[in-house]
Amino acid sequence: MRVLEDAVTGHWELVIGAIGAIAMLWGRIKQVADAVARIVVVRVTVEDEVRHCVARYLLSLRRPTPTAGYYTVYNCYSRSQQEYVSIPAHEMSPLEDAGLYWVSLRPIWMSFEHEQMSSDQYKRRHYFSFIRGTLDWEALLVDAYAHYRRLGDRRCEGVTRFYIHHVIGGGNSEGHIGSRTESAPRTYVSQQSRLLGWDETDVLSQDGDAIDTSLVLSEDLVEVTAEIQKFFTLKRWYADRGVSWRRSYLYKGPPGTGKSSHVRHVARKCRLPITVFHIASLTNFELHQAMQEVRDRAPCFVLIEDIDRVFHGDQNVVPSSKLAFQALLQALDGIQGVDGVVTIITANHPDKLDPALVRKGRVDRVVTFGMLTLTQRLGLAQRVLTDPTLAAKVVAELGPCSGADLREHCTKLAISMMFEQDEKEN
């Protein structure tokens, strides 16, 4: 028994000694392993835009690992079948997920690291890693950008991409942003979607042409609408002159004068999506991250509504909001580096805005919204009520008012009259 105990004790002493030796040499072992890895594996650091393009290209080449992203179903309009069909898809957002991809059986790994810049701000560093000698990185990058341009062109040829995407903050520094989407058929518009068994060019929606006919446009708004529509046709013109292909507007005027309605109107006519930022709910990091994702939807609209409810000058007046004014300015400046974006800021009281927010370079044009003229009020009332005499009576009774108030009043009256007529007939 004594011999057995000595043997066991000696065995554990050897194990403990080995563990101690490994611990003492761990730093050296790690250095050697890192050196070997640098010889065998190439790790490329990329900016966010490069990461986005390459990841989208790799996603189109070969199926990534099933654990990356998630699977969903889209209800898409099929050009060939001329009807809506349910199509399974694999959703994978390079902004969020690392993943393993394959280029002709050669693996390439996408990863990122968070670097803390301050107490509530983080910066992501993006990497692509592959075995040395298996891939030509620069050739892959050229192919990725060519694919990205082709995809963007196909998405915009004679189809609608109109929908409204709301970005709502989670109120933390980790970037967990909530969102909801409205006014859109479920259509294949995400550049992180991979449709299963369908050609992406066959299933872009043809819906979305329903323009709000009750919206009354002044001559200035008709001009602004035409200007924005023209802007989205000038991609080559801007590129040939080395000018950033983007545009920004400040819509100012009292509540109910049609600022947000006009944004939706022109977006429908342009058949492009709107991203609405609820800035009071966003932290500095969440706003920065969300703005980076705008490039994923371009060409598109960015809408920041009622900014004067959040900022008076450079002060955030919403007690629960964590967004700093400088972070907002930096985010707006960041959008200017994204081609094909029209940014629209609305304000009920523009006198409360800091001059830095609306200076030239951040705002290209200021558009004023006011109360409807008598002619416009008569036209809107007649359009809803369909009876010129009744429309004139309603307009005279209400007097000067906003388009929203007049539309609501006329709509309620028209519905009430319809019910009364149905009761008489029955």
pLDDT given at position 210: 43
**In which residue are the tokens 């062109």 written?**
153
Which of 81-85, 229-233, 407-411 is the least confident region? 81-85
Distance CA 337, CA 316 (A): 26
Residue pair 274/260 in contact (Cβ under 8 Å)? The answer is no
Q: How many domains does the chain have?
A: 3
Better pLDDT: 197 or 237: 237
Look at residue 205 and tell me whether its pLDDT is greater than 60.
no
Question: Considering the domain boundaries, does residue 84 fall inside one?
Answer: no
CATH label of the domain that carries residue 183: 3.40.50.300
In this structure, the answer to whether residues 189 and 338 fall within a common structural domain is yes
Question: Considering the domain boundaries, does residue 326 fall inside one?
Answer: yes
Question: Considering the domain boundaries, does residue 283 fall inside one?
Answer: yes
Residue pair 335/362 in contact (Cβ under 8 Å)? The answer is no
Which range marks the domain in which residue 419 is found?
374-425
pLDDT tier for residue 54 given thresholds of 50, 70 and 90: confident
User: How many C-beta atoms surround the C-beta of residue 190 within 10 A?
Assistant: 15
In this structure, the answer to whether residues 398 and 320 fall within a common structural domain is no
Look at residue 360 and tell me whether its pLDDT is greater than 60.
yes
Mean pLDDT of the chain: 79
Give the residue among 265, 311, 269, 263 at the shortest CA–CA distance from 287: 311
Question: Considering the domain boundaries, does residue 24 fall inside one?
Answer: no
Look at residue 181 and tell me whether its pLDDT is greater than 70.
no
pLDDT given at position 137: 92
DSSP one-letter string for 254-298? STTSSHHHHHHHHHHHHT--EEEEEGGG--HHHHHHHHHGGGGT-
In this structure, the answer to whether residues 215 and 351 fall within a common structural domain is yes
Q: Please say which residue of 353, 370, 387 terminates a domain.
A: 370
Better pLDDT: 172 or 120: 120
Distance CA 298, CA 229 (A): 15
pLDDT given at position 118: 63
Look at residue 303 and tell me whether its pLDDT is greater than 90.
yes
Look at residue 173 and tell me whether its pLDDT is greater than 70.
no
Question: Considering the domain boundaries, does residue 139 fall inside one?
Answer: yes
pTM: 0.61
In this structure, the answer to whether residues 366 and 395 fall within a common structural domain is no
Residue pair 62/102 in contact (Cβ under 8 Å)? The answer is yes
Q: Which tokens is 296 given?
A: 């994923």
In this structure, the answer to whether residues 300 and 165 fall within a common structural domain is yes
Q: Please say which residue of 131, 155, 179 terminates a domain.
A: 155
In this structure, the answer to whether residues 275 and 401 fall within a common structural domain is no
Rounded to an integer, what is the distance from CA 398 to the centroid of its chain?
40
In this structure, the answer to whether residues 399 and 348 fall within a common structural domain is no
In this structure, the answer to whether residues 411 and 289 fall within a common structural domain is no
pLDDT per residue over 229-282, tens digit each? 999 999 999 989 988 899 999 999 988 888 988 999 999 888 888 999 999 999
Strands of the sheet containing 41-46, edge to edge, are 41-46, 122-131, 106-116, 99-103
Look at residue 70 and tell me whether its pLDDT is greater than 80.
no
pLDDT given at position 3: 52
What average pLDDT does range 194-215 have in this prediction?
A: 59
pLDDT tier for residue 184 given thresholds of 50, 70 and 90: very low
> 289: which residues sit within 8 A by CB, 6+ positions away?
95, 175, 177
Look at residue 377 and tell me whether its pLDDT is greater than 50.
yes
pLDDT given at position 65: 56
Q: Which tokens is 80 given?
A: 């060939």
In this structure, the answer to whether residues 248 and 384 fall within a common structural domain is no
Distance CA 366, CA 286 (A): 27
pLDDT tier for residue 206 given thresholds of 50, 70 and 90: very low
E strand segments, 94-173: 99-103, 106-116, 122-131, 164-168
Residue pair 251/369 in contact (Cβ under 8 Å)? The answer is yes
pLDDT tier for residue 7 given thresholds of 50, 70 and 90: low
Instruction: Find the helix or strand (DSSP H, E) in which 313 lies.
Output: none
Q: Please say which residue of 135, 155, 175 terminates a domain.
A: 155
The one-character DSSP state at 243 is -
In this structure, the answer to whether residues 182 and 304 fall within a common structural domain is yes
Distance CA 113, CA 98 (A): 10
Q: Which of the residue ranges 39-43, 166-170, 334-338, 344-348 has the most confident prediction, judged by mean pLDDT?
A: 344-348
pLDDT given at position 345: 95
pLDDT given at position 363: 92
In this structure, the answer to whether residues 363 and 379 fall within a common structural domain is no
Better pLDDT: 244 or 52: 244
- Pairing of the two strands 274-278 and 164-168: parallel
Question: Considering the domain boundaries, does residue 332 fall inside one?
Answer: yes
pLDDT given at position 271: 85
Which is it for the CA torsion 266, 268, 274, 276, positive or negative?
positive
> 103: which residues sit within 8 A by CB, 6+ positions away?
58, 61, 62, 135, 140
The one-character DSSP state at 170 is -
In this structure, the answer to whether residues 150 and 178 fall within a common structural domain is no
Better pLDDT: 22 or 397: 397
Which of 71-80, 141-150, 231-240, 293-302 is the least confident region? 71-80
The one-character DSSP state at 208 is -
Question: Considering the domain boundaries, does residue 341 fall inside one?
Answer: yes
Question: Considering the domain boundaries, does residue 408 fall inside one?
Answer: yes
Distance CA 126, CA 292 (A): 13
